[in-house]
Structure formats: C-alpha cells, structure tokens
Chain A
C-alpha cells in the first residue's frame, strides 16, 4: 500500500501547475489519469493519497482572475417564452393590435412559420411596475414580480437561430450544430467541482427532454468526464446508481474492497498507472451511491420550504428541480442546469397561445423560481451563485396566425428577447438594454448569446478567450470567435 501511495504522489506532483495540467488534459492522458467527475480533478483523492495532494490539485485549478460566482444555476425555459407577455412592456404594440405588420419589418427576415403579411398582436397580459427599481412584470408572474429588485433584466438579448434545436445548441454549446461541449462541461473543465462525491455538472429536466436532446449537456470533444450528469427525480437519481436487488450496501462495499485489492495486485505486476485511477474511481462510485441519493432526497426539507417552493416529493416537476438545484449548489455542485419544456406558444390551436397556455406555464414556474432566489439569499448562497433565466429565443410581436387561425400565438423570434440574471456578482434591480417600441429589435444594450456566455464565464473568474481546448488542429472555446463580457450588468 505504501508503495502505491508514493507512486501516486510522485505522479500527481507532475501535475501541479495549471499549465502542465491543462496540457495533459488535452493530450488525453490527463483526462484518464486525473479523470474524475470533478473536472479534470484529482484521480486520486483523500482516502488513498491524503489531503495534502488534494490541496495541491485544488491550487492548480485556479481561475483566470478572482470570480464573484462559484456556481451557476441556469433555468432554461425550453420552447421559448414570450417576452411580450412577461417583461417587455410595449404600449405602442397594443395600439397596433390587429393591424398588418409594416413590410419594412419583414424585409430580409426569415420566420419559422409566419407566411405572408402577419398582423400585430398586442400583449395578452396586464403589466405593472414593481419594487424600488420599477421594473415592469406582468400579472402572469405574481411571485416573481416581488423579486425584481434582486435581478438584472437583459431586455435585448439576440440569437442567430430561429428553430428550437439549433437555438438551444447555440445557447448551451456556443454553436448551432451538434458536437461542441456545453457550457457546464466547459466550466467543470475549467474549475472542477467542490464536492468530491458528486458530479460537477448536474442536469434536471421537467416535462420531456428539450428539443436538442442530451447533446446540450454533452461534453462534445472535451473528455466525457465533463458531460452533464442527468439526475432524475424518479427512479435511480443517476443511471446505474443503485445496486442490483440482491446486493446490499454491505456486500457492495465488500466487493469493491476485493476488486480494488486485486487491482492493486495487478498494478504491482504491470505498473500501469491507469489502474490507480480505476481504484480511486471505484471508491468514488461507492461514495456517490450514498451521497447522490442523500442530496436528491427532498423529504427531509421542513414543511415551510416545501410550501415556499410548492414542491411535491417524488414527482417530476420544475418546483422539485428548483429545490434540488439549491441543495446541489449547497453541496458544492458547480453547474446546475434546469430544463422545463412547455413554452412553445404558437397559437397553432386552442391551449397553445400566449394567453392560456403561457399563463399555465408561468403558473408552474413562477413560485418555485422566486422561491429559489429567496432561499439562496436567506442562506447566504446568492452572492456566490449566479442564477440565469431565459428561453432559446423570444417571440414575434406579430401574431403567427398559422392556418389563418385566430388563436393568440406568436412565432419564434431571435432578434430581441428578455432574459434575467440574479446573484453571483450581478447588479440588483437593474435593467440592461431596450427594444424598439414594438419589441421587435434591440435598440440599445444588445446582448448576443456569446456575450451572455462570456459574462457567465467572467463571473466565475474565467476569461472566455482563454478557456480553450485544442481539437482538430485549433483552439476551440465556448464563445467560438465572438463574445464580449457585458460589463454594464456587473455589480
């Protein structure tokens, strides 16, 4: 045993500069030798190596500059909510309601469904100003309207894609096609995790999976160790986490002990350092078997917490996922990604418009997302946790009127939509950017998806231009070849 520890220490010592560390990650060896779910984190942790080695590795994983946020919770409303019913109040649009859209707006534009000359559609919601900051929020979001002084609204976000899957890919991987690493995997690649027993990047889904599928939390060309681990509120919280029926924890522990004992012997015979990594991964797997169900079990929360979030243990719901998100960041998970798919309100039929269907969708997220901010704040976690909310694009000020129908729906719209951010060193009660009088395009403070990504990384202490990975002969980064940090929103 002593020998193995010395070997391991010798090996790890080779990695104690970031430069060397990242180089090794690139070459593949680092990924395998240091591969843990904890970023390119220590492949060997305390039980085998001792705390001192763990600390050395932690030092190696420094940020580019001190970051205000340590963790991110990204709430993605998949399908794209209408900003015109929620945040972007446009009285002028209401006056144009029912009139033909001016041709100048349509010139050179492509829409997913709108054909011919559509009519303008006034907002279906009632708006009021709220809080000290006086931000407009509609009556669709009664809980959230009390939180406006905690958040920064980005009113003029824009994207390049107008179909769900490519737009979701752009939002989460920086490119509209499959194959690139997601934001969460970039972050764990750059920073690792704070908890040795939990994955660094966790994904929670309510409703069905988002359009672009698992690829929006994939690791692309980064080592697969960085991919998001989908935790589920039904069944095994992590795939294959629970033992087969006839194996109880005692026997599982015994069998892992024996597996590792024989693997140690194998190491003494073949001297392949990869075996040491495998030994530590089996230990981590065993610890995860205890740690993950613990953090995923919300039954132990007091009644008032359940009341605040509107949770219902055992169900797959956005409310449960919000509460889980808080528990996960509390336990050191670096990046928590929530997807909620119910927002595609085309008005292509009854119960699919920005009146009824959107209102229903809001009802299921309004209370829990507000509770999440409140809860993080009262636990002192909001300062170090960046919460981001939004869809993959927005919706048109025109009525989609598919099939000439009279249902109040809006088409996909990438030119301008609203997102909000809270905590993690972002200004409170602030609004950045403005759209024209009908909410079609941004006229000031426009923020591209790559700018948003650059800003999120910046808050974590990462320079989006320096967080790179070499693949196919060139350096890749989350923000592709663009992106500017939105300095205006930083507190």
Chain B
C-alpha cells in the first residue's frame, strides 16, 4: 500500500514537472536539448511527411533529408532557417491564423506543445538524427542485473526478466524435462526425439544434461536441414522457374549448399559473401559458385513472345529488393519509383545499388546460362580416367594444353575441342528470337522452330571449320537452316535442308526416339576468325507452328587432330562427349568491355531510362569498405562490415523469431521507421554485437546462447495474469507455445510413425498429392517407394502449384523473398491432418505398434501410442477419452466391417483387423491434437 502511494506520488510529481516543462517550452525559454528522433520525427512522420516526403514534395519541400528541408522551396524561401524559428517559413505556416495557409493543410493545427517543440528545435539549429536502426549498435551495453528468485543463465535473461519486473510480471518456472527435450529437438533439428532419446535425457541427472543435449543437436546433420528451411524462404528457392510455363529448374545443389553451410557452421559473414559474390572471390571453388545460385532463384519467364530484357530487368530489380530484405530488413520496393516516403533513401540510390547486379550475364534466356556444369560422382570418376587416358595416348607433337586450374567439365570440353570433337548442344545458345522454345520437361531440345526464328552462338572460331552438322527430327517436309555471320542479316555461309526423318505420334510436341533423329550437313564458305554464328530457320513446303526439332550442332574441322588416331581412341572421345552434366545456374559478371550501363528508371519504368548511375550503397547505410572494389564483392563486404548498422541485428532477429515465435522486431522485413518498435531494443543490440564480436558470426554459438537462456527454458503454461498483461507473449513471460511450421508438422508425423526416410541431400522428390496437376507442361509423377517419406524440405517446389499440404500450413510459394510466415489456423488444416493419405498411413503404422503392445490391455496400448506421439505420459482423463473413441470404432468395425481398408503396402493385410483399424482412428486423432502440432 505504501508502495502504491509512492508510485502515485511519483506520477504526480512527474506531471508537475511535465506541466512546467511545457510551460517553459511554450514560452520558448527552455534550455532542454531537443532530440530529432524523440521529439520531432514523430510529429513530422504523423503530420507532415505524407505531403513533404519521398513521394510528394508539395511546394518543393521534403523533410526526409536535412539538406532538402533547408533548401529553398518553390515560394523562393527556405522552410527552415536553422537558429531562427521566427523567420522560418515552417514555423510561420504552422502558426498561421488563416486556415488556407496553415499547415498541415485541411487538418487540425498542431497543438501548442508540438509547435513549441518545433520552434525550439529550429532555434537550436534544426539538427537531424538517423532512425535508430541506421545507427550501429552500441558496444557498451551491459545486461541488466536482476534480483529475483528466478535463476538466470546468461545475459539474455537480464534483459527479459528486467522488463518482466517492470511490467509486474515474473518469469514462468522451468519447463518439465519431457517438454523441454521435445522443444529443443523440434527447434534445433526440426524433428522430435525418439522415445529412447527422450528417455535418455530424462534419466540423465547431471546438471550438464541439458547442455550436452544442446551440443549434440547442434552437431547433428539434421540441424542444417532444419535451418535451411528458414533460409530457403528468404532465398525464394524453388525447383521451377515460375510464370506461365513454370518449367523445371535444376538448382537443388544450392539447397544442399545451404544445408551444408549450416551444418559446417559457416560464419554468417562468409555465408553472406559467398552467396552474393562467391564468383568474384579469387579462384572460386565449385561450392562458392553454387552459393551464388542464391540470386539465380529469381523467376524466369519462358512464355512465348515475352521480351527477355523485360524479365532480365525484373530479375535484377528483384535481386535489389531481396538483398535488402534479407540482410538489411529494409523494404526498397517503393524506392524503385520514387524516393523512400519515410526513410532517407533516395530514388537514384535504388539504381546505384541495382548497378551491382545489372552486370550479371544471365538474361532470362531459356537455358539459364551461365551455369556450373558438374557430373554425378561415378560419372566424374569415369570422365577423369578417360581424360587421363586420352592425354597419355596423345603423340608428343599433338599434346594439347589443358587448363591446369579449372573444373573437370572445362578440362573435358577443352580436350574435345582441341582434338576437333566439336559438338555443341543446341539448347545452350547465347541468344534467340522470341519464338524459340525448349521442349519440356528436360529442355534439352530446341523446339518451336518456326519460319524466320533463329538461335545464336557467340564467339565461334570457324577458321578450321569446313562443314556443320545438325541433328534434327521432323515428321513434315521440315525446313532449312541458314548459317549467317555476326547478325541475322549477315553473310550466309551455308545452308542445309531438313527433310522428313520419320513419323511419330504427336510429333510437334513430343520428343522422338533415337532412331528418328538424323544428322544434316552443310559445307561452309571459308571463314577466318571468331564470329557470332546465327542459325536462321526457314520453312519448306509445309507451314506449321513448328518445323523441326534440333538436338545439337557439330563443327567439322578440315584436319582435326582426332583424325590422326584410331577408332578406339575416337570412341573414347565420343564416350567423353556423352556424359550428362548436372547443371546449376550461377552468377557471373560480364567482362569489363561488355559491361552494362545502369540508368535510373523514371517512375520505375524500365522503358524510360534516366540519368546514368554508378554502383554504390545508400549513403545512410555507410559505404563500401576502403580498398574494396565497387562491385558485388565490395557490396557483400559492406553488408558484413562492423559498421553496417543492420546486418547483425536483422540476422539475430530472424534466429530469435524461429525459437520464440515472434521477432524482437515483429516486422522482420522492415526495420525502417515504418516497422514495429522492438520489444527489447537493448537486447537486440547486445545480441547483434555478441553475434559479431563474441561469436564471430557463428550461428551455432548464437543459437546455443539463445536456447541456454533461462528465458527459453520457461514453461509455456500461461496464467490469467500473464494472458492479461502479456497476451501475445511479446515480453516472453513464458516459454514459446506456437504451432509448428508446415515442414515440422509433416516431418513430425513421419517421424513418430516411423515412416520417415532420413536420407539427406540430392534432387527434390515428388510425394503423392491429391491434386495431380499437369499445368505448366511439367508433370508430377509421384514417388512410390520410401522416397515419398523424405523430409519436407526435399519436396519439389513448383511455384505455380505448390505442394498443397505445405501451403495449407502457411508454407510459402517461394515466388518472392519471405521473411516471416503468418501463422493461420484454418479448417483446411484440420481436413489435411485428418484425411491426407500419407497421414492416415502414418496413423495405421502407429496403430500396428499400439496393437502389438499388449494383446488385451487397451489402456496400455493407448498409453504406448500417446507416449510415442507426445513423448510424455498421458493423464487418466486423456486415456479415458481415447478409450471411448477406440471402443466406438472397434464396435463399428466389428459390426459393419469395412470395404475400403487403408493398407500399408500392397498385398499386406497388416491393417485389416478391426482392432488395428480402431487403433488407427485413435492414432489419427492423436496426430490431430493441438499439443501435437504445437511446440510446447
């Protein structure tokens, strides 16, 4: 009571002070230092910026930058004269007696306090301050020391518990061990523990038991899989290209790179640099090149008649936005058309940043060049052996100079080229006319060869070439291929007629068998030197949308080296040429002499280029480190430099959100002045500094720090007091209790039933889905065997038709970078969990285990099932409820029998007894319980 009175007194005293302060301020006699962020920005953002900001500069005035605000406005007068409020137009207009002139226009005038603050601020010199997130975090923050009964584990607890105390809350007690172990497993590796693993932890009485588990899980190979899921949402990773055709894209090696990077605990700064600029590192490794596929996850449009330049630009623009969202938690989309409405980023700065990406070689062409060519391990072995065999069998005078550095594919290609084995896949062209398409799903044959369409290969040396062969197939009269030099209208140096090669069903859209292909040859007029070679397609007698298929082009040299060798030797060359590569699109910059200029797009329109700009980072956010080049590599180094105010904060916030359900800044994608305020500002900054200085960007160390905190280990049970004072658990007054992610929900069902296939890495898989879709010319041939039970992050992501179970549980379609999934709770989720055939198969599998527990003791069987699924002992009430369901089901099945049994495998009668069927219904119910789909 005494305490209460004291507080009221305090409020009273504060009120008096405030009144006095306002009095002083209104009298303009205060000496209080005015803070832009604290006093002025809120007024300007609420009352002025809509008309005087980045979008509109009414009267020629903007308040975003100090220099703009002090500049002369359209009236000829500056709005602000620092040090002289009385003569500043801004002041005169906010106090104007005539509503026609008074600012803000057509709104209520500013109140006296606001006017006084602005006047004083101008008199003090009208200084600006950056938004807090644009100022690097302080390095001298110390965790508050809290006195209380709750034990703290590390600095995190100081911040959290202090704030709880400030809000008259106390932390929740530590969660029960069986709850904690399930939480920890799901959080760190995305899978629940097995009953044995859970039991081992319960039995371990050591005070280090929990920490030992943490270390074990951080070292688990499944750790990388769980955390890759988060990153793949940001990287908008998908197995198709998007847009209309949404054809396959081979880019799973990037997914594997992310998994491995997390498993290796690659420091986050390195992780950043390799993804954004791995190709610009000295002698990049294959893995560093694959890392750059991060920005090759942009969508590509293969739709007929699209303008490749339009979609190249769209991809480049998208890379700017994604880079800023992922590393800077800043939305730049609005700056594409005009200066940022609220934050100090200018229109042209968007394009300066775009210049970093504008010079990449990729340009929305079908074959996704540039790519990294690799081979399956067994093929690679054989290729290496064969390359060795060929080089050792070369006569001395023929010795070809293979690149000493470089990858197997490049060596092999160089060897074949030098020996005169010059076969080029037609689909690897460098440019084409609009109508050219590749045949789905493999995209390894040129299709839609129409009259006057063409493909082009850059820099072909024709000096030694006497003729060219084309492997073609057609069921009609075919057409002609003209060979032209350096332009579509350039000199014609050869022509061949393509004639009927045979008949097959659906010839114009289906790939013919090998026997239906034929090579057609043309002699060439002599040419010297290197040229861009155009293949122009012309119609013959028949005119259709499609004249013929083209598989490859072969350049015959007059005296190829290979001709000097025997058949056996030449067979080796043919064999070398026959291996199918595994390709991954990567980033590569155009050479300096071919580099693209970058212009501002007026109002964001790519067809309206404006002033020329040079690559740079926004001024507000620092500069490229000294000595670094002004390219992607320098940009990546800027992101991970200690001076960058945002990177570490944004990263730490993401990992926090994954564990606690909400970010310290809830708007994970927006740290700018329009984002939400942080719930614990100092904690965020302290963690960011720890992440850089203490952990040296180690994600595992950061995560360990988070899960070791007493804050994380709290029980998630709420009390009515906590619900009232902290309804959304923003203050972390209890442990996290949130629904699991889509991937975790599915993986957990597979894990507890024993169906799961924990094989790692490799091409994506297509589990059965109820809405078989043939849209986009790519079909979904469902996996039959155990591949269908792989972890969810290996499920093939088709952008226009994502896997329905995952999207129902808020998985993303990976069209754009997604920082946070909004959790929903819908009846479609209920229907999916209840009825999905994979999930019911899992229930059946569980039922068989339950039934085998005891021949007659139903309660024991049910308890076994519950423990397997929830990893804790059920109370009597739950068992009673489940038994009710079991008995109902049993009598139903015994009395009626059932025609449509869900069998586990074909020919198996495991699931046919009424008893197992009844347990299956119970297991199905268990897999639908709130406590199962929720992290407790």
Quick check: B545 and A215 within 8 Å, CB to CB? no
Interface residues of B in 796-833 (CB under 8 A from A): 799-802, 804, 807-808, 810, 813, 815-816, 822-832
User: Which residues of the other chain, A, contact B775 by a CB distance below 8 angstroms?
Assistant: 208-209, 213
Tell yes or no: B301 within 8 A of A by CB.
yes
Please name all residues of chain B whose beta carbon is closer than 8 Å to the beta carbon of A80 when the two chains form the complex: none
Inside 8 A of A282's CB, which chain B residues have their CB? 827, 830, 928
Known: A112-B306, A208-B774, A403-B539. A251 touches B889 (CB 8 A): yes
Asked if A270 contacts B800 (CB within 8 A), the reply is: no
Task: Judge whether A261 is part of the interface by a CB distance below 8 angstroms.
Answer: yes
Q: Are B804 and A266 in contact (CB under 8 A)?
A: no
Q: Is B246's CB within 8 Å of the partner chain A?
A: yes
**Distance, CA A137 to CA B307, complexed state (A):** 34
User: Is A302 in contact with chain B by the CB < 8 A criterion?
Assistant: no
B595 at interface (Cβ–Cβ under 8 A)?
no
A-B contact list, 9 entries, CB within 8 Å: A27-B666, A36-B826, A177-B314, A209-B773, A262-B878, A281-B827, A282-B928, A404-B543, A474-B334
Q: Could you say which residues of chain A place their CB within 8 Å of the CB of B930?
A: 263, 266-267, 274-275, 278
Contact B900 A246 (CB under 8 A): yes
Query: Which of B331, B728, B802, B828 has a CB less than 8 Å from the CB of A29?
Result: B728
Residues in chain B near residue A403, CB distance under 8 A:
450-452, 539, 543-545
Residues of A within 8 A of B816 (CB): 177-179
Which among A240, A248, A273 has the greatest number of chain B C-beta atoms within 10 A? A240
A281 contacts which chain B residues (CB < 8 A)? 825-827, 829-830
Q: Are B834 and A252 in contact (CB under 8 A)?
A: yes
Q: Of the 9-residue stretches B198-206, B226-234, B355-363, B880-888, which lies at the interface with chain A?
A: B880-888
Q: Are B928 and A259 within 8 A (Cβ)?
A: yes
Contacts of A274 in B (CB 8 A): 737, 739, 825, 930, 934
The reply on A316 being an interface residue by CB < 8 A is no
Cα distance, A103 to B936, chains bound together (Å) = 70
| Of A124-132, A223-231, A293-301, A383-391, the one with at least 4 CB within 8 A of chain B | A223-231
Pair A31/B717 contact, Cβ less than 8 Å: no
Q: Please tell me if the beta carbons of A225 and B301 are within 8 angstroms of each other in the complex.
A: no
**B244, B314, B672, B799 interface centre (most CB from chain A within 10 Å):** B244
A36 and B827 form a contact (CB under 8 A): yes
Chain B, residue nearest A411 (CB) = B305
List 5 additional A-B contacts (Cβ < 8 Å) besides A28-B822, A245-B900: A213-B799, A254-B888, A274-B737, A473-B331, A473-B672
Task: Tell me if A307 counts as interface (CB < 8 A to partner B).
Answer: no
Q: Residue-by-residue, is B853-893 near A (CB-CB < 8 Å gives 1, otherwise 0)?
A: 00000000000000000000000011001101100110011
A82 to B893, CA, bound (A): 59
Nearest CB of A to B890, in Å: 11
Q: List chain B positions with a Cβ less than 8 A from chain A.
A: 242-244, 246, 299, 301, 303-307, 314, 325, 331, 333-334, 341-342, 434-435, 450-452, 539, 543-545, 666-667, 669-670, 672, 674-675, 716-720, 723, 727-728, 737, 739, 770-771, 773-776, 799-802, 804, 807-808, 810, 813, 815-816, 822-832, 834-837, 840, 877-878, 881-882, 884-885, 888-889, 892-893, 898-902, 917, 920-921, 924-925, 928-931, 934, 936
Q: When A and B form their complex, what is the total count of cross-chain residue pairs whose Cβ atoms lie within 8 Å?
A: 262
A263 to chain B: which residues have CB within 8 Å? 929-930
Task: Give the docked Cα–Cα distance between A251 and B739 (Å).
Answer: 26
In contact, B828 and A473 (Cβ under 8 angstroms): no
Interchain CB contact under 8 A, B831 and A285:
yes
B206 to chain A, nearest CB (A): 29
CB of A273 within 8 A of CB of B840, answer no
B800 contact from A214, A277, A349, A474, Cβ within 8 A? A214
Kindly state the separation between the CA atoms of A281 and B801 in the bound complex, as whole angstroms.
25
- The answer to whether A242 touches B835, judged by C-beta atoms less than 8 angstroms apart, is yes
Residues on the A chain within 8 Å of B544, using CB? 349, 403
> B303 near A165 (CB under 8 angstroms)?
yes
Contact with B along A210-224 (1 / 0, CB 8 A): 011111001001011
- Judge if A133 is at the interface, Cβ distance under 8 Å: no
A164-B303 in contact given A225-B824, A263-B930 (Cβ < 8 Å): yes
User: Which of chain A's residues have a CB closer than 8 A to the CB of B900?
Assistant: 244-246
Q: Is residue A238 within 8 Å, beta carbon to beta carbon, of the partner chain? A: yes
How far, in whole Å, are A265 and B901 apart by their CA atoms in the complex?
Answer: 32
Q: Are A178 and B815 in contact (CB under 8 A)?
A: yes
In the assembled complex, A155 has its CB within 8 A of some CB on chain B: no
Beta-carbon contact of B925 and A259 below 8 Å:
yes
Q: Could you tell me if B824 and A223 are in contact, using CB atoms closer than 8 angstroms?
A: yes
- Is the C-beta of A163 less than 8 angstroms from some C-beta in chain B? yes
Contact for A271 among B718, B884, B936, CB less than 8 A: B718
Q: Is A146 an interface residue (CB 8 A)?
A: no
Q: Which of A250, A267, A474 sits near B892, CB closer than 8 Å? A: A250
Contact flags (1/0) for A396-429 with B, using CB distance below 8 Å?
A: 0000001111000000100000000000000000
The complex places the Cα of A254 from the Cα of B827 at a distance, in Å, of 17
Q: How large is the interface on A (under 10, 10 to 19, 20 to 34, 35 or more residues)?
A: 35 or more
CA distance A412 to B303 in the complex (A): 13
| Bound Cα distance from A115 to B878, whole angstroms | 72
- Would A115 and B452 be within 8 Å (CB), given that A43-B825, A270-B737 are in contact? yes
Given A288-B831, A403-B543: A412 touches B881 (CB 8 Å cut-off): no
Quick check: A243 and B813 within 8 Å, CB to CB? no
A236-B770, A255-B925, A259-B929 in contact; A163/B836 too (CB < 8 A)? no
| Assembled-state Cα–Cα distance A287/B342 (Å) | 47
Interface presence of A113 (CB below 8 A): yes
On whether A224 and B543 interact (CB within 8 A), knowing A179-B816, A404-B451, the answer reads: no
Q: Which residue of A lies closest to B306 (CB)?
A: A163
Please tell me if the beta carbons of A165 and B889 are within 8 angstroms of each other in the complex: no
- Report the separation of the CA atoms of residues A163 and B310 in the bound assembly, to the nearest whole angstrom: 11
Does chain B have a CB within 8 A of A338?
no
A271 touches B303 (CB 8 A): no
Interface string of A185-227 (1 = CB under 8 A from B): 0000000000000000000000011011111001001011100
Which one of A32, A215, A245 lies within 8 Å of B823 (CB-CB)?
Answer: A32
Given contacts A288-B827, A472-B670, are A213 and B246 in contact (CB under 8 A)?
yes
Q: A258 with B835: in contact, given A246-B917, A281-B830, A403-B451 (CB under 8 Å)?
A: no
Given contacts A224-B807, A270-B716, contact A412 B670 (CB under 8 A): no
Residue among B434, B771, B804 having the largest count of chain A Cβ atoms under 10 Å: B771
Q: Does A110 contact B (CB under 8 A)?
A: yes
Chain B residues with Cβ below 8 Å from A369 are none
Of A36, A164, A224, the contact of B244 (CB 8 Å cutoff): A164
Cβ A474 vs Cβ B888 within 8 A: no
Q: A115-B452, A178-B816, A271-B723 are in contact. Are A474 and B674 (CB under 8 A)?
A: yes
> Contact: A254 with B889, CB < 8 Å?
yes
- Shortest CB–CB separation between residue B176 and chain A, in angstroms? 12
A163→B304 CA distance, assembly (Å): 8
Asked if A241 CB lies within 8 Å of chain B CBs, one says: yes
Query: Bound state CA distance, A248 and B897, in angstroms?
Result: 11
A258 to B922, CA, bound (A): 9
| Bound CA–CA A27/B730 (angstroms) | 12
Q: Which residue of A lies closest to B911 (CB)?
A: A246
- Which chain B residues border A251 with CB–CB below 8 Å? 888-889, 892, 921
Shortest Cβ distance from B843 into A: residue:
A244
**Bound CA span A129–B820, Å:** 55
Contacts of B545 in A (CB 8 A): 348-349, 402-403
**A107 sits at the interface (CB 8 A):** no
Query: In the bound complex, what is the Cα–Cα distance between A269 and B719 (angstroms)?
Result: 9
A236 to B769, CA, bound (A): 12
Say yes or no for A247: interface residue by CB 8 A criterion. yes
Nearest Cβ on chain A to B36's Cβ, whole angstroms: 20
Q: How far is the CA of A277 from the CA of B667 in the complex (A)?
A: 24
Lowest 10 CB-CB distances: which A-B pairs, in order?
A213-B800, A245-B900, A112-B305, A473-B674, A285-B830, A178-B815, A473-B670, A403-B451, A285-B827, A472-B331
User: Are B831 and A241 interface neighbours, CB within 8 A?
Assistant: yes
Is B717 within 8 A of A270, CB to CB?
A: yes
A380 CB-CB contact with B under 8 Å: no
Question: CB-CB < 8 A to A258: which residues of B?
Answer: 881-882, 884-885, 925
